[in-house]
Amino acid sequence: MISALGHAVYHSRIRKIVRALFVDGWVQQMASGRRTVSIGSIVVLAWEYWVLTAACAVALIVADLVMPGFHLDRIGSSTFLGLVASGVVLSIVFGALNAILWPLLLRAMMWAGPALLFVFVFVASGLMMLLSVVLVPVAHFDGPVDATTLALVLSLTTSVISGAMAARRDTTYRTMVVRRHRVRARTTRPSATGPGLVCIQLDGLGHDVLRRAMSSGVTPTLARLVASGSHSLVPWHTDWSSQTGSSQLGILHGSNRDVPAFRWYDKTTSRIAVFSDPASNLERERERSDIPGLLAGDGASRGNLFSGGAEDNVLVVSRMKGARLGGGGSGYSGYFIDPANAVRTAIRLFAEVCRELGQAWSARRHDIVPRVSRGGIYPLVRAFTTVVETDVVVAAVIGDMVRGRTIVYADLVGYDEVSHHSGIERPETLAVLRKLDAELAMIHAVAESSDRPYRLVVLSDHGQSQGATFSQRYGESLKSLVLRQCDGASVAEEPARAGGGEGAGYAAASVGLSPAPDRALRDNDDAVVLASGNVGSVSFPHIEGRATKETIEEKYPRLLQALIDHPGIGFVLVARGDGGSIVLSGSGSVELATGVVSGTDPLQAFGSGVLDMVRRTDSFGNVPDIMINGTYWAETDEIAAFEEQVGSHGGLGGQQTTPFLLFPTAFDFPPLPLHGAESIHRILSSWRDRADGSPAISDVSGGVVDNGAGSAIGTTRD
């Protein structure tokens, strides 16, 4: 199928050049000062077309020499030059027919369905080759089978060349995507009343990591935006649950209450909820239906866990329940119907798998530590997040800008996934970040040439902290530790996925294969142990309501003491029998209600303002019986994740709680410090609603005190 689709990429060059020169009114665009295609782009397209035409001619000449059922006539000479002339003429005619007829064939293929795709392509290619010979009788076949065989040979030849060029030339690819969406938008574009807002989330990229990437040349696009004075960069601070589910729920839906972690046990339903599960995410959205979503109305959600109230969703997990490849909220059909997209993504996907295999081998060979297993299906998971998800989402965002949508929010997850397995600033991770910066350059270029003006906001949902994992440091998992201290009680945990991290669950949900969670427990499970980065939780299903410290110590007398004394555990949160709650560590405690510290403050190492974050989580109706935050070693800026991840996030400690916000200086500067995802929702909503670019922002900080992390960059105002 890919070779046949690549054949269409090759023969669509004619349409692109003709449209650029005539259909879209190049002269009018020049006069208006808004050029959507440059002279250089047309030259590149023309050059690529003739390169592919030459490749097709060579394939025809080789076929004449090796295929007994196909013969080229000699034009003008009986020598080899006459054979070359015949090959060139037939190649041009065959390409022209494909350029004219392929749009109809694509529509027919979608109507026929995927089951008939291969048969359809075989037959259509053969018929067009026969038609080419009828129109230009410079060749003859012994039968229709030979014509079809030759057409498929040409498809294979041209798909490799055209797909490789599309995979490496972002300018060509951008021009192609913009022109396709422009044609579709002629009858569907909504009326534009002011500047639109495009929000791109670089998942998992911390503020300090971005600062270093900008100064070292890894992210030249973002560096130019700040250096030019067009954008400002500031940090913001997550809630205790520093992970995508909590942050996106707050940013897109205005509230992330009752989200204690990425995965948690809900006593009211006796089920484990996890943010890679479409059903769980849809339920979280419904719980917040009384709050207007950030993307309600004319918004679009791309690659997110939640819709944000948007009706138009692509690769949005909450809209994927029951979806299969190409259906539901996946958005694949709109992307892969274009053959250029299919070939470009297929080549990049294969290259990324090979790249991961080589990098994993190199890490083992050089004994890079800390490191985790990168085998199983992880190379495919990485390729999905860094290539397929990125390509589909970026193409959708470009289409949104061409159509003139009011607000778009998109999540690019590649950096986050690779950081989990490689580390937050390893060479392969920074290489992924560099590619994402190139995608931002493409989006920014389209925004500058769109009919509707757009303002670009780039942000992250959390950062990441690094370190050897809990099990690597101490020889056992959190589940094993709890099991030992509970005298052999039956302990349940959310099943690990091959490939690890959120990426595997997201990839599975994206193709409609999301398995068990949100899942019910077995009747004999005495405890549920779950991990979300360096946050762990322990729940006791058979203890009604929230278990208190006294109840836990009576039933499992060694458990709490073993947890707070463990060197890999920074502190635990547990309720008290008198109705309050307490934070415990091996060297001290703090009463949540009063803030009174006994011994050494267990929260001191995690920065100021942490007590308020813990209080907020303690007020949730579904807080686990025991909330555990792993140790943070400030001298090395390391944590020990309870999951098998080199770079991780989900709790407190290090860079994971300090993401960034990069925004146009045309917007009013938000009051600093910024705390909590809900404050980001209020800021973005204000920027969305004030099309004149000068929104009034009030009381977005949520009343949380500064935790001492970082100052603004590029914040000088004229």
Amino acid at site 174:
R
Token digits for 186?
């002629």
What percent of the chain is modeled with pLDDT above 70? 71
Single-letter residue type at 8? A
- Terminal Cα distance for the chain, rounded: 56
Name residues whose C-beta falls within 8 Å of residue 522's C-beta, 6 or more positions apart in sequence. 490, 492
Indicate whether 103 pLDDT > 70: no
Residues across the chain: 718
Q: Give the containing element (helix H, strand E) for 144.
A: helix 144-168
- What is the mean predicted confidence (pLDDT) over 611-617? 97
Q: Provide the token pair at 594.
A: 């009063």
CATH topology of domain 196-466+665-689: Alkaline Phosphatase, subunit A (3.40.720)
Max Cα–Cα distance, the chain, nearest Å:
102
Q: Strands, DSSP E only, in 226-362?
A: 231-235, 263-266, 271-274, 299-302, 312-314
- Which pLDDT belongs to residue 108? 56
Identify the band that residue 24 occupies on the pLDDT scale cut at 50, 70 and 90: very low
Q: What is the 3-state secondary structure (H, E, C) of 199-217?
A: EEEECCCCHHHHHHHHHCC
Residue 193, pLDDT score? 65
Is 343's pLDDT higher than 80? no
The pLDDT of 21-28, averaged and rounded, is 36
User: What's the rounded Cα separation, in Å, for the pair 409 and 419?
Assistant: 22
Lowest mean pLDDT, pick from 25-39, 248-262, 304-318: 25-39
Q: pLDDT higher for 329 or 556?
A: 556
How far apart are alpha carbons 205 and 425 in whole angstroms? 10
**pLDDT attached to residue 278:** 86
The alpha carbon dihedral of 557, 560, 563, 565 has a sign of negative
Q: Is the pLDDT of residue 28 over 50?
A: no
Distance CA(663)–CA(680), nearest Å, equals 12
Confidence category of residue 23, pLDDT binned at 50, 70, 90: very low
pTM (two decimals): 0.79
Q: Indicate if the pLDDT at residue 565 is higher than 80.
A: yes
Residue 213 has pLDDT above 80, yes or no: yes
Nearest alpha carbon to residue 75 among 48, 97, 57, 95: 57
Question: What is the arithmetic mean of pLDDT over 22-26?
Answer: 36
Confidence of residue 99 (pLDDT cuts 50, 70, 90): low
* pLDDT for 708 beyond 80: no
Q: What is the pLDDT of residue 459?
A: 98
Residue 245's nearest CA partner among 382, 492, 411 is 411
Give the 3-state secondary structure of residue 712: coil
What is the arithmetic mean of pLDDT over 352-371? 95
Structure tokens at 10: 């090759």
Nearest to 237 by CA among 656, 665, 532, 682: 656
Question: Domain locations in the chain?
Answer: 2-168, 196-466+665-689, 470-498+522-648
Peptide bond into 557 cis (omega under 30): no
C-alpha to C-alpha distances, 586 to 214, 452, 561, 615, nearest whole angstrom: 40, 59, 8, 20
Find, among 379, 413, 383, the residue nearest to 502 by Cα: 413
Q: Which of 21-35, 219-233, 255-269, 704-718 ranks highest by mean pLDDT?
A: 219-233
Half-sphere exposure of 19 (CA within 13 A, CB side): 19
| Contacts for 550 with CB less than 8 Å, ≥ 6 apart | 576, 577
According to the model, what pLDDT value does residue 184 have? 52
A 10 A CB-CB count for 10 gives 31
Tell me if 369 sits within 8 A of 468, measured CB to CB.
yes
Distance of CA 285 to the CA centre of its chain: 20
The CA-based angle 675-677-679, given to 5 degrees, is 60
For the ranges 90-104, 455-469, 600-614, which has the lowest average pLDDT?
90-104
**How far apart (Å, rounded) are the C-alpha atoms in residues 590 and 594?**
8
Q: What is the pLDDT of residue 15?
A: 44
Average pLDDT, the chain: 80
pLDDT in tens, 198-212: 999 999 999 999 999
What pLDDT is recorded for position 705?
Answer: 34
Strand partners, 409: 199, 301
Element of type H or E holding 589: strand 588-591
What integer is the mean pLDDT of 465-485?
A: 95
Using CA atoms, how far apart are residues 133 and 127, in angstroms rounded to an integer? Answer: 10
Band of the pLDDT at 498, cuts 50, 70, 90? very low
How many other CB atoms sit within 10 Å of the CB of residue 476?
Answer: 14
Predicted confidence band of residue 115 (pLDDT cuts 50, 70, 90): very low
Question: 48 versus 683: which is more confidently predicted?
Answer: 683
Kindly list the distances between the CA atom of residue 467 and the CA atoms of 15, 244, 646, 647, in Å, as whole numbers in the listed order.
Answer: 53, 20, 6, 7
307: which 2 tokens? 């819709």
Closest by CA to 222, choosing from 535, 454, 439, 484, is 439
Q: Evaluate if residue 598 carries a pLDDT over 60.
A: yes
- Mean pLDDT, to the nearest integer, of 388-396? 91
- The single-letter DSSP state of residue 673 is S
Residue 573 class from Cβ within 10 Å (0-12 exposed, 13-18 middle, 19+ buried)?
Answer: buried
> Running DSSP on this structure, what letter comes out for residue 136?
S
- Encoded tokens for 255: 């509230």
Query: What does the pLDDT average to over 296-308?
Result: 93
pLDDT tens digits, one per residue of 639-684: 999 999 999 999 999 999 999 999 999 998 898 899 999 999 999 9
Sign of CA dihedral 88, 91, 95, 97: positive
3-state secondary structure (DSSP) of residue 4: helix
| pLDDT per residue as tens digits for the range 277-287 | 888 899 999 99
pLDDT (0 to 100) of residue 630: 97
Joined tokens for residue 687: 């920027």
